[in-house]
Structure 1
Amino acid sequence: MKFSLIMATLGRSREIERLFRSLAEQTYRNFELIVVDQNHDDRVTAIIDRFKDDFQIVYCRSEKGLSRARNVGLQAVSGDIVAFPDDDCWYLPHVLEFVAGKLGSDAALAGVTGCSVDGDNNPSQGRWSTSPLTVNRYNIWTCATSYTIFLRTEPVRAVGGFDEQLGVGSGSRWGAGEEVNFLLGVLNAGYKVCYEPALRVCHPEPLAIYDEKAYARGRLYNRGFGRVLSLNRYPMHFVLYVAARPAAGCVVSFLKGDLGRARYYWIAATHRVLGWVDQG
């Protein structure tokens, strides 16, 4: 089985080199990297030139917007398994081998997801389930993020593409959630996806510091979260549940005197609800 890894990139160099080095060290070698460049300079092509003999690289360009870039990348896919590494994530050496083994041993399985860890193997980018699961519309939020999703090409083609109104750089109010919305489309089409906590992809923890940049990111990302809840017709009780969790975190953080964290949790709670009620 051949992997097609779609990496959209804008404004990064050092992080891309880290990802490329991790791909060069993969124990499973049958893959292509589809680079979708949104920069106006040659920073990416210079890095590609240094790694072009280590693995197959397909180069594309697109307008800004993560979902737009991934849709461009999907047009270049030639593999049997599709994944969407972020330009600031990196793979441990056995990641592709693990996924190939899992999908190769179960023909009924359309995809596998894993969890996100930082460089010290601590959870990053949110909460993660600790047990293997069959992914469904309720546990999906602790089972998948874009760079931990690996899908056979058939369900990817069945969904058709990412919603370009969702995600970073979309120009809309909904700055995240495009990958969960996409994966929900796979599940809604009747495909089976499993979550394996042993499958780990590395990504820095973005909330190490609670500053204005983190608050702005929290508004966009959580509003996108709420928008996905609305698009996929989640019941009100679940919307209240996912808003209540950060609201409770706000109260606890406030009582501990951690005002920066409390503010972030309040933003998360309120913008999840705003995203759900916002019809565009």
Structure 2
Amino acid sequence: MFFSLIVPTLGRVGELRALLDSLTRQSLTTFEVIIVDQNGDDRLVPVVNDFTDRLNITHLRSTVRQCNHARNLGAKRAVGDIVTFPDDDCVYTDTVLQTVNELFASFDKPDFITGSVITLEGLRGKSGRWHPVETPINSHNVWTCLIEFNFFIRRTAFTATGGFDEGVGPGTTFGSAEGQDLALRLLEKGFRGLYVPSLHIMHPDKPVTLTTARAYSYGLGMGHVMRKNHVGVATVGTFLLRSVMGGLVYLLKGDIPRARYYFLTFLGRIRGYLSLRAGAVTPAPATG
């Protein structure tokens, strides 16, 4: 199979170089890289030029600084059988594409495949709770089986669903869960997904100060996507309870930054779920 790797990027140079360098070591070489450059200058030109003799790269420019817009823009230029959307600060292990190729060619022939995350040091990351075993994806487990930069989709299925919702994700009020939104729409159309926990992509852990700053927006995204896709009450309740309990646990431990993160996440999920449009969502409260 031929893969199209679509990389939205803004403000990162060294990280993008590291990603491209990792792609030169892939055991499967039938892929293209589509860089969607949202910078207002030429900072990436030297990086792209350094890899044009080793990678099949298309360098697109976008004046719109919004991640899902960039993903959809890149997908329109893609020619691969499979589309995927690595972050610009990811690093691919050497056999990622070969593994995914074999999974798509397997007996079950899924329409989309997801995996989990390890840190750049090769350790288990802190980015969410991951489902422990390989499983078909459904509307309940999609929240612990998917992250956007480790999401591989048959291009025909991606096109059939209309791509990413540009009203969700980084650069919007609803700052997360755009991958889950797309997966839920794929499932609604009858496409089948497979989660493989051993399928790892490397990504840096974010410091708690950064994740706390984003907690409310990320919570809004998850709540909104749950409501939009009519996710079951039991699933909604599970993730509301998790955020409350996480806040209480860290409050009792005296870890105020992490407690604040969980409480802001809870508040965002509630308000995102109750709002059917971005304009109805109130700003994030001051965190002190």
CA contact (8 A) 1:134 1:194 kept: yes
Q: CA deviation at 1:107?
A: 6.1
| Aligned equivalents of 2:211, 2:147: Cα separation in 1 | 18
CA contact (8 A) 2:212 2:257 kept: no
Within 5 Å, which residues of 2 pair with 1:62-101?
62=62, 63-101=64-102
Alignment partner, residue 127 of structure 1: 129
| Aligned equivalents of 2:42, 2:271: Cα separation in 1 | 39
Q: Select 1:158's aligned residue among 143, 157, 160.
A: 160
Alignment partner, residue 232 of structure 2: 235
| Aligned equivalents of 1:197, 1:239: Cα separation in 2 | 23
| Aligned equivalents of 1:258, 1:15: Cα separation in 2 | 31
Partner AA of 1:118 in structure 2: T
Alignment partner, residue 139 of structure 2: 137
Partner AA of 1:230 in structure 2: R
CA contact (8 A) 1:124 1:204 kept: no
1:146 aligns with 2:143: no
Q: Return closer, same or farther for 1:140/1:3 CA change in 2, 3 Å cut-off.
A: same
| Aligned equivalents of 2:198, 2:211: Cα separation in 1 | 29
| Aligned equivalents of 1:33, 1:39: Cα separation in 2 | 18
Q: Select 2:247's aligned residue among 247, 250, 270.
A: 250
How much identity, in percent, do the aligned residues show? 36
| Aligned equivalents of 1:236, 1:182: Cα separation in 2 | 20
- Count matched residues: 275
1:218 aligns with 2:220: no
| Aligned equivalents of 1:158, 1:103: Cα separation in 2 | 18
Tell me whether 22-31 or 115-124 shows the greater mean CA deviation.
115-124
Partner AA of 1:22 in structure 2: S
SS of equivalent residue, structure 1 residue 91: coil
Q: CA deviation at 1:260?
A: 1.1
TM-score, normalised relative to structure 2? 0.92
Q: CA deviation at 1:270?
A: 1.3
| Aligned equivalents of 1:5, 1:128: Cα separation in 2 | 24
Q: CA deviation at 1:106?
A: 3.2
1:260 aligns with 2:257: yes
| Aligned equivalents of 1:235, 1:196: Cα separation in 2 | 24
* Unaligned runs of at least 5 residues, structure 2: 278-288
Partner AA of 2:182 in structure 1: F
* Unaligned runs of at least 5 residues, structure 1: none
| Aligned equivalents of 1:96, 1:272: Cα separation in 2 | 34
1:272 aligns with 2:273: no
Alignment partner, residue 201 of structure 1: 201
Stretches (4+) displaced over 3 A: none
Alignment partner, residue 14 of structure 1: 14
| Aligned equivalents of 1:240, 1:131: Cα separation in 2 | 23
Partner AA of 2:227 in structure 1: S
Q: CA deviation at 1:240?
A: 2.1
Alignment partner, residue 51 of structure 1: 51
CA contact (8 A) 1:124 1:203 kept: no
1:28 aligns with 2:28: yes
Partner AA of 1:21 in structure 2: D
CA contact (8 A) 1:246 1:269 kept: yes
Partner AA of 2:105 in structure 1: G
Partner AA of 2:90 in structure 1: C
Partner AA of 2:217 in structure 1: L
TM-score, normalised relative to structure 1? 0.95
| CA RMSD after TM alignment | 1.2
